[in-house]
Chains A and B, each alone.
Chain A
Amino acid sequence: MKQLTRYLPLVLIAVAWELAARFELVSTTALPPLSAVIASWIDMIKDGELITNGLSSLFRAGAGLALAVFVGAILGITMAWWKPVNVLLAPIVEVFYPLPKSALIPVTVIWLGFGDGSKILLIFLGCMLPVTIGAFNGARSSEQVLVWSARSMGANRLRMLWDVVVPSAMPELLNGIRTALALSFILLVSSELIVAQRGFGFLIGYLGANGNYDAMYAVVLTVAFLGFAADRIYLAITRRTLAWRE
């Protein structure tokens, strides 16, 4: 209950929004009343438009993020524990990390076309580096004495990597994944806005261009809510995974 009352300021914004639009303090094309937005949200759920587009977006974000976590975690941990890999990859990571990944939108389209492939590739490329860096920093921080303890109890090198280095890397790795999760939403919507025939971003652009602002706002709010919910769920999972830290 206390958790919910924290979000009371959001209700204030909703009321202010509704009133501002009702009393025409702002132009209703710029900001249609919240009630109209909700009505058009219900319509879009009923005719399935929001759900088909939403599923296609979630598939792209999910696939891109899953690939990024898998490849990024392996890269980061091998970079931390195998010098030649670090020598080879560290400069590449350093140069590509600050690159705004949205700049790659046209590139991925040239490579893989207008469909799912280009979005998944973009999200994968954009989300991989924060995961890699998290895994790398985490794995490097694993304590020497823990490694020695495992080895003296009969763990071979591979076993030690899995039993000591991976769990030691976990807090920073999970932090990197959280950054990647937020990035995946940004990259998803921006790439769909620019080139797509389906998805949340496509819907926002399409509805806006046709002057259907109630519906456009409904999609924007849906994306905002999904992003928020994903982060909350992720945090809850993280807290459970890292329960040993207290």
Chain B
Amino acid sequence: MGTLLAAMTGQAQIVVNSVSHMYRPPRGREVLALDQVSLEVANREFVALLGPSGCGKSTLLYLIGGFLPVEKGTILVDAAQVTGPGPDRGIVFQHFALFPWKTVRGNILYGLERQNMPKEEREKRAQDFIELVGLTGFEDSYPSQLSGGMRQRTAIARTLAFDPKILLMDEPFGALDAQTRELMQSELLRIWQRTPKTVIFVTHDVQEAVYLADRVAVMSARPGRIKTIVDTKFDKNDPNIHKSKAFVEKVDELWNLVKVEAIKAQGKRAP
């Protein structure tokens, strides 16, 4: 009801309104990556974008982030049109995108420096976030000296530290091994519950989407459209949630929706 009301009165925090996007490779034909996509996300909501690879879910995230120009349709964030990147929208990438020449601390400090936070305050804040993601003792390590999971925790701390209202996550756990991924998922939920933010989370992992998100937007194979939006509110603090009947059924339901699209995507790639 809250979401619906917000949408009706134009109060949703993120409003994507019939956005289309053409991908133009340097060589070869143009590809329609997104076709008339509309989506509304309420304040403090956790929405997952789920779909087969190549369905344009990352493109949609980059458009909301302001990294790609919106050519058709409109994207509003807090009722203002998106025209470029900004510190109200923090992003976490699949391959971490840490500055390799900066230490863990240096990476986390970067966003705080850009906001002209006084030195003492930003040092303290950086330390707080290093502790939050459990990297105490690795402050002065370079990313090349860390494991994949530690790098991604650094990237998450870097983005959380400058306190964006919106967190854009582009398959952030896709490059991690299965155990680390599961740990990171519950850690993300723990952090999200402590610093509530609006999250848009791109993934092709059905279980991950159902576990983390309040709602899952299932995207179709190229050209990307939003096929359906499914409510996936579960008790995140239940350690056995993965085994509950309702959860398993929800994963099944979504898996069937995605499978059709994955098969379509495969078919299109065949010669």
Residues of A bordering B, CB below 8 Å:
143, 145-146, 148-155, 159, 163-164, 167, 170, 243-246
Q: Which residues of B contact A245 (CB under 8 A)?
A: 100, 144
Q: Judging by beta carbons under 8 Å apart, are B97 and A143 in contact? A: yes
Nearest A residue to B142 via CB reads A244
Q: How far is the CA of A154 from the CA of B89 in the complex (A)?
A: 10
- What are the nearest 3 A-B pairs in CB distance? A153-B111, A154-B114, A145-B97
Q: Judging by beta carbons under 8 Å apart, are A154 and B101 in contact? A: no
Q: Which residues of B contact A151 (CB under 8 A)?
A: 67, 84-85
Q: Which residues of B contact A246 (CB under 8 A)?
A: 142, 144-145
Q: How far is the CA of A143 from the CA of B158 in the complex (A)?
A: 18
Q: Judging by beta carbons under 8 Å apart, are A148 and B85 in contact? A: yes
Size category, B interface: 20 to 34
Q: Which residues of B contact A154 (CB under 8 A)?
A: 86-87, 111, 114-115, 162
- 23 pairs, CB–CB < 8 Å, chain A vs chain B: A145-B93, A148-B62, A148-B85, A148-B97, A149-B91, A149-B97, A150-B99, A151-B84, A151-B85, A152-B65, A152-B87, A153-B87, A153-B114, A153-B158, A154-B111, A154-B115, A167-B99, A167-B101, A170-B101, A244-B100, A244-B101, A244-B102, A246-B145
Residues of B bordering A, CB below 8 Å:
62, 65-67, 84-87, 89-91, 93, 95, 97, 99-102, 110-111, 114-115, 142-145, 158, 162, 164
Q: How far is the CA of A132 from the CA of B158 in the complex (A)?
A: 33
> Main secondary structure on chain B at its contact with chain A?
loop
Residue from A149, A155, A243, A244 whose CB has the most chain B CB atoms within 10 Å = A149
Q: Which residues of B contact A149 (CB under 8 A)?
A: 91, 93, 97, 99
Q: How far is the CA of A54 from the CA of B67 in the complex (A)?
A: 54
Q: Which residues of B contact A152 (CB under 8 A)?
A: 65-67, 85-87, 89-91, 164
Known: A145-B93, A243-B142, A245-B144. 10 other contacts (CB 8 A): A145-B95, A145-B97, A149-B97, A152-B66, A152-B86, A154-B111, A154-B162, A167-B101, A244-B143, A246-B144
Q: How far is the CA of A19 from the CA of B239 in the complex (A)?
A: 83
Task: Check A155/B114 contact, CB under 8 A, given A167-B99, A245-B100, A245-B144.
Answer: yes
CB distance from A151 to the nearest CB of B (A): 4
CB distance from A227 to the nearest CB of B (A): 30
Q: Which residues of A contact B90 (CB under 8 A)?
A: 152-153
Q: Which residues of B contact A155 (CB under 8 A)?
A: 114
Q: Which residues of A contact B115 (CB under 8 A)?
A: 154
CB distance from A160 to the nearest CB of B (A): 10
Q: Which residues of B contact A153 (CB under 8 A)?
A: 87, 90, 110-111, 114, 158, 162
CB distance from A169 to the nearest CB of B (A): 11
Q: Which residues of A contact B145 (CB under 8 A)?
A: 246
Q: Judging by beta carbons under 8 Å apart, are A148 and B91 in contact? A: yes
Q: How far is the CA of A245 from the CA of B101 in the complex (A)?
A: 7
Nearest B residue to A148 via CB reads B67
Q: How far is the CA of A74 from the CA of B145 in the complex (A)?
A: 31
Q: Which residues of B contact A143 (CB under 8 A)?
A: 97
Q: Which residues of B contact A148 (CB under 8 A)?
A: 62, 65, 67, 85, 91, 97
Q: Which residues of B contact A146 (CB under 8 A)?
A: 97, 99
Residue from B62, B90, B114 whose CB has the most chain A CB atoms within 10 Å = B114
CB distance from A138 to the nearest CB of B (A): 12
Q: How far is the CA of A148 from the CA of B65 in the complex (A)?
A: 9
Q: How far is the CA of A149 from the CA of B102 in the complex (A)?
A: 14
Q: How far is the CA of A152 from the CA of B91 in the complex (A)?
A: 7
Q: How far is the CA of A170 from the CA of B101 in the complex (A)?
A: 10
Q: How far is the CA of A154 from the CA of B158 in the complex (A)?
A: 13
Residue from A143, A145, A153, A167 whose CB has the most chain B CB atoms within 10 Å = A153
Q: Which residues of B contact A164 (CB under 8 A)?
A: 99
Task: Check A159/B91 contact, CB under 8 A, given A151-B67, A154-B162, A244-B100.
Answer: no
